[in-house]
Chain A
Amino acid sequence: DAKTTQPTSMDCAEGRAANLPCNHSTISGNEYVYWYRQIHSQGPQYIIHGLKNNETNEMASLIITEDRKSSTLILPHATLRDTAVYYCIVRVRNTGTASKLTFGTGTRLQVTL
């Protein structure tokens, strides 16, 4: 699986949009971009994933650049409960057998009043 690079930490004011970048310059055509978060030692929580098109769900939006070498997770209106470590992961597409997710160090997002 391709390696990802994320900033170690970020701050965001409550109510503002949180934009979390991720570089995955060695991503290949059959790899998805996944985002998870972990709130204070709880189990990781799935947020969103995409292949090449931008994606949006009730939690967040995922913007993937045209060359797929980087992406941005957007939390449109951050709240204090969004304070967590956010992991960007690339993972090979379905080959008939589910494959493991490899977690890096992630970005520690601190949402403040």
Chain B
Amino acid sequence: NAGVMQNPRHLVRRRGQEARLRCSPMKGHSHVYWYRQLPEEGLKFMVYLQKENIIDESGMPKERFSAEFPKEGPSILRIQQVVRGDSAAYFCASSPEQKDNYGYTFGSGTRLTVV
């Protein structure tokens, strides 16, 4: 049973380009969460999605950032027109449906570097 898969592991983008980060949840998990970790800082919640629905995007920057979790395929975190301040590790986690008293499983993260 594969864990949460994130790709790419490392992503380098020039300022102004777009970054697409992918997350495939564990089999049977329909809840996906994205977190961002700036260098030397803690994890900050960004967005919580279920299949085809955004449940909580209270941690998402209002501009340039978007997330989706389509009926088929991985969840995508998209950052348009990246800036140097977007350089961070982005972690995805998943959990089963209707089992809130269950620990998340996190992926290994995508390290985004904006040059």
Chain A residues in the interface with B (C-beta under 8 A): 32, 34, 36, 38, 41-46, 49, 51, 87, 91-106
Q: Is there an interface contact between A43 and B106, defined as CB atoms closer than 8 Å?
A: yes
A49 touches B43 (CB 8 A): no
A46→B103 contact, CB < 8 A: yes
Does A44 contact B101, Cβ atoms closer than 8 Å? no
Cα of A44 to Cα of B106 in the assembled complex, Å: 6
Count contacts between A and B, CB distance < 8 Å: 69
Q: How far is the CA of A25 from the CA of B82 in the complex (A)?
A: 41
A-B contact pairs, 16 of them (CB 8 A): A34-B103, A38-B43, A41-B37, A43-B106, A43-B107, A44-B43, A44-B91, A44-B106, A92-B100, A95-B100, A96-B98, A97-B55, A99-B48, A100-B33, A100-B45, A101-B104
In Å, the complex CA distance between A93 and B98 comes to: 11
Q: Are B48 and A100 in contact (CB under 8 A)?
A: yes
Chain B neighbourhood of A94, CB < 8 A: 98-101
Determine which of A32, A96, A105 lies in contact with B101 in the assembled complex, contact meaning CB atoms within 8 Å.
A32
Q: Which range holds the interface residue count of chain B?
A: 20 to 34
User: Which residues of the other chain, B, contact A95 by a CB distance below 8 angstroms?
Assistant: 100
Q: Chain B contact residues: over half helix, strand or loop, or mixed?
A: strand
Contact with A along B87-115 (1 / 0, CB 8 A): 00101010101111111111111000000
A106 CA to B4 CA in the complex, in Å? 23
Interface residues of B (CB under 8 A from A): 4, 31, 33, 35, 37, 42-45, 48, 55-56, 89, 91, 93, 95, 97-109
Residues on the B chain within 8 Å of A46, using CB? 103-106
> Can you name the residue of chain A whose Cβ is closest to the Cβ of B97?
A98
Additional A-B contacts beyond A98-B97, A100-B45 (11; CB < 8 A): A42-B109, A43-B107, A43-B108, A44-B106, A46-B105, A98-B99, A99-B48, A99-B100, A100-B33, A101-B93, A103-B43
Residues of A within 8 A of B108 (CB): 42-43
Inter-chain CA distance A42–B3, complex, in Å, is: 14
Q: By CB atoms of chain B within 10 A, which of A34, A91, A98, A103 has the most? A: A98
